[in-house]
Structure 1
C-alpha cells in the first residue's frame, strides 16, 4: 500500500514537472514571438497611427446623375490607408521572401506581416522569420492569388491565449466591437486596401465559407447571401458580386471542427450599364405589283423590278 502511494505521488510529481516545463516553454515562445513581430514592425517602419481618428466605413459613392451640374464632390481620403500606403517590404523580404504585405485592424492587436507558403501547415507553427513557434504566422491560403485578386481571399491566424495574432477576432460577436473596429487594412506593393467588415460567425471547417472557385455571378451572389445569413452582427454592409471578399479565419477554442470567421469587403467598380440603342423602324415592305400595274407598265414600256 505504501509503495502504491509513493508511486502515485511520483507520477503526479512527474506530471506537474512536465506541465510546468511546457508552460515555461510556451511562455518563452510567446516572448520570442513578440520580439520577432516587433522586429518586423521596425523593419517595415510601421507608421505611428495613434493620433488618427477612429476608422469609419468607406462612404457610398454618389450615384450617377446625383451630382448637380458644375458641383464637384469631395474626394474621401481614408487616413489609415493614406498613412500605410508608403510601407516598404524590401527589408522583410530580405529575411523571408514569402512576405507579401501587412494586415492591420486599428485599435486591436492585429498588426502583422502576411506571408504565403506552399501549403497551409508550415506557417501554423513558424513565425514570419521561419522560426519554429506555437505562435505561428498570419498567412494567406496557399491556393489564393498573391495579389489578393480572387473573389474570396482567405487569411489564417491563431487565436493565442495572450491576445496576440487573431485572438481579437473573437470580439466581433459583439455589435459594439464592430462599431469601434469596422475596417481591416491590407497593404502590399499595390498600396493600402480598405476592407469593410460585414459578417462574423462560427462555421464548419467544411463550410462554404472556404470556397475559392466561382463560375459566375449567380454563384457569387449565393456565397454573399450565405455569409450574410450566418452573421451574428448587423453591419448594414452588403457586398456586391463585383466586389472582393476577405475572410479572416481563426480557431474557436472549442475543438477542431469549427472556425470563427470575420469577413470584410473591398469595394470594386460596378460594371457599366448596357447602352440603350434606339430601335430602328422596320423598312416598309414593298407591295407586290398588282395585275393592273403590270398591264399598265407593259403599256407604257416600264417593267416591275423583281422582288428581292
Structure 2
C-alpha cells in the first residue's frame, strides 16, 4: 500500500509536470501567433493610411483664392466710377508706394493713340496716358502684361507718368521700392520688382504671347541675365505672371527702361498682405 501510494504520488507529479509543460507551450504558441498577426497587420494599416493620404480627395486641395471684401469693393467702386465716366477705356490704376508713380491706366485699339492723348481726351504729346498693350488681356491674366508711359524727365515741371521707373536702375532704390499695386474695378493685384533692364526700342523682348511656358521662362532668364538691377529672391517659375512697366530714357530716345514685376499669386497673398499690407495702402501723389 505504501509503495502504491508512492507510485501514485510519483505518477501525479509527472502528470502535473507534463500538464505544466503543455500549458507553457500553449501560452508560447498563442503569444507567437498574436505577434505574427500584429506584425502582419501593422504594414497593412500603414499601407492603408498611406494609400488614403494620396487619394484625390486629400491630395487635390484647392489653392487659396483671393476674396474681395465688401470694404474693398466699395473702395474700388468709388475709385473707378469717376474714372470710367471720364474715359470708358479706363481699365486699372497703378501706383508704387514711396514713389511718384500714381496713374490711371487705359487700353485702346492700338499702341499709339494714348501716347499723345490724356485720359480726358486732351491732345498732349509726351504726356498722354499710361496704357496697356492693346493685345494684352485687361484682366492681367497673361503671362506677360505690358504698361507703357512717358518718362517726363527733368525738362518739364510735371514728373508724373513713368519717370520714376528709370530710378530702378539704382540697386538701392530698387530694393527700397519693391512693390507695385494694380487696382482694377474688380480687385487688386500686387507685384514685386524682379528685374530692371535697358533695351533698344526694337527689342525682341516685346511680346504678349508665347508658344509655351518654357519659352516664356527662357525669356525671363534672358532678361534676368541682362538686368542692370534685380531681386535676389526671385526664382523664375513659368507659371508666374509678370507685369512690365516700360518707358523712355531721357538721354537716348532709341532705348527703353523695362521694369519687370512678378505678380504675387493668390496662394501667397494672405501671408504677403499680413506682412506688407499696411505699407501698400494708396497715398495720392497727384
TM-score over 0.5 (shorter chain): yes
How far 1:190 sits from its partner (Å)?
A: 2.7
Q: Does 1:92 align with 2:88?
A: no
Aligned to 2:145: 153
Could you list the per-position Cα deviations for residues 48-72 of structure 1 after superposition, in whole angstroms to 9, with x for gaps in the alignment? Answer: xxxxxxxxxxxxxxxxxxxxxxxxx
Alpha-carbon contact 1:249-1:262 (below 8 Å) kept: yes
Alpha-carbon contact 2:100-2:164 (below 8 Å) kept: yes
Could you list the per-position Cα deviations for residues 51-108 of structure 1 after superposition, in whole angstroms to 9, with x for gaps in the alignment? Answer: xxxxxxxxxxxxxxxxxxxxxxxx9x9xxxx979832212211121000010000111
Distance 1:150 1:85 in 2: 27
Q: Does 1:120 align with 2:111?
A: yes
User: Which of 217, 221, 225 is equivalent to 2:221?
Assistant: 225
Matched ranges for 1:97-246 at <5 A: 97-134=88-125, 135-161=127-153, 162=157, 163-236=159-232, 237-246=234-243
Structure number with higher helix proportion = 2
Q: Which runs of 5+ in 2 are unaligned?
A: 1-63, 268-286
Distance 2:123 2:189 in 1: 30
Distance 2:73 2:164 in 1: 21
Alpha-carbon contact 1:140-1:155 (below 8 Å) kept: yes
How far 1:206 sits from its partner (Å)?
A: 2.1
Matched ranges for 1:68-79 at <5 A: none
Aligned to 1:265: 262
Task: Provide the TM-score with structure 1 as the length reference.
Answer: 0.58
Distance 1:90 1:103 in 2: 16
Alpha-carbon contact 1:84-1:192 (below 8 Å) kept: no
Distance 1:239 1:129 in 2: 39
Distance 1:85 1:243 in 2: 29
Secondary structure of 1:92's counterpart equals helix
If you compute each CA radius of gyration, which structure gives the higher value, 1 or 2? 2
Greater shift in the superposed pair: 248-257 or 129-138:
248-257
Relative CO higher for 1 or 2, CA cutoff 8 Å, sep ≥ 6?
A: 2
Could you list the per-position Cα deviations for residues 116-162 of structure 1 after superposition, in whole angstroms to 9, with x for gaps in the alignment? Answer: 11111111111111111131111101111111111110000001033
Distance 1:220 1:169 in 2: 23
Count of paired positions: 191
Secondary structure of 1:87's counterpart equals helix
Q: Which runs of 5+ in 1 are unaligned?
A: 1-74, 271-308
Moved over 4 A (4+): 82-85
Alpha-carbon contact 1:202-1:258 (below 8 Å) kept: yes
Distance 2:120 2:163 in 1: 21
Change (3 A) 1:241 1:204: same
Secondary structure of 1:224's counterpart equals helix
